[in-house]
């Protein structure tokens, strides 16, 4: 029994020493992981639907917004009453901000298919902003 306990204690000591040595040895020989870049090759996820949505600001009115199929976008800087309309919902779909109880969703949209669509933001009968979306 004592011999078994001694062998067991020795085994635990050896395994414990290996556990303490191994991480430092691995760290010294490990290849550093490259940090992500701003290019498409550094983005997480292969599908644009997994990317962070781009922000389309009110100040960007009149500009052309370039997207790829499946990419999402959010409108920023508009009051909740502004309504958005796409000239071609087969290319770009848009949604208005919605309020439900204490939470509010932001207005935004999604690139559906290659092509061009104009998106108009209106507050009542007043046009607040117009954008051209090009989807590749």
**DSSP H or E run through 136:** none
Classify residue 17: in a domain, yes or no. Answer: no
The whole-angstrom separation of Cα 5 and Cα 100 is: 67
Classify residue 67: in a domain, yes or no. Answer: yes
Strands 83-86 and 64-67: unpaired
Q: Residue for token digits 């917004």?
A: 65
Q: Residue 109 is part of a domain; what is its CATH number?
A: 2.60.40.2020
Classify residue 87: in a domain, yes or no. Answer: yes
The reply to whether the predicted model has a pTM over 0.75 is no
Residue-range definition of the domain harbouring residue 129: 43-135
Classify residue 12: in a domain, yes or no. Answer: no
Classify residue 55: in a domain, yes or no. Answer: yes
Classify residue 64: in a domain, yes or no. Answer: yes
Q: Largest alpha-carbon pair distance within the chain? A: 92
The reported pLDDT for the residue numbered 81 is 87
Classify residue 37: in a domain, yes or no. Answer: no
pLDDT in 10s for each residue of the chain, 136 residues: 555 555 555 555 544 554 444 444 444 444 444 443 334 444 556 787 778 899 999 999 999 999 999 999 999 999 888 999 999 999 999 999 888 888 878 899 999 999 999 999 999 999 999 999 999 9
The reported pLDDT for the residue numbered 6 is 52
CA dist 44 → 31, 33, 39, 49, 50 (Å): 20, 14, 11, 11, 8
Classify residue 73: in a domain, yes or no. Answer: yes
The reported pLDDT for the residue numbered 116 is 98
Domain count, the chain: 1
The residues, ordered by sequence, that sit 6+ positions from 17 with a Cβ below 8 Å of its Cβ are none
The reported pLDDT for the residue numbered 31 is 45
């Amino acid at each position: 029994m004592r011999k078994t306990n001694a062998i067991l204690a020795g085994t635990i000591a050896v395994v414990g020493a290996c556990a303490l040595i191994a991480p430092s040895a691995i760290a010294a020989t490990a290849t550093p992981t490259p940090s992500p870049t701003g290019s498409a090759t550094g983005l997480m996820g292969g599908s644009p639907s997994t990317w962070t949505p781009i922000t389309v600001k009110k100040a960007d009115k009149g500009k052309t917004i370039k997207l790829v199929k499946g990419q999402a976008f959010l409108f920023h800087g508009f009051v909740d009453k502004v309504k958005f309309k796409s000239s071609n919902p087969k290319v770009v779909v848009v949604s208005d901000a919605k309020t439900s109880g204490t939470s509010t969703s932001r207005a935004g949209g999604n690139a559906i298919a290659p092509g061009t669509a104009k998106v108009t933001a209106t507050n009542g009968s007043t046009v607040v902003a117009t954008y051209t979306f090009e989807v590749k």
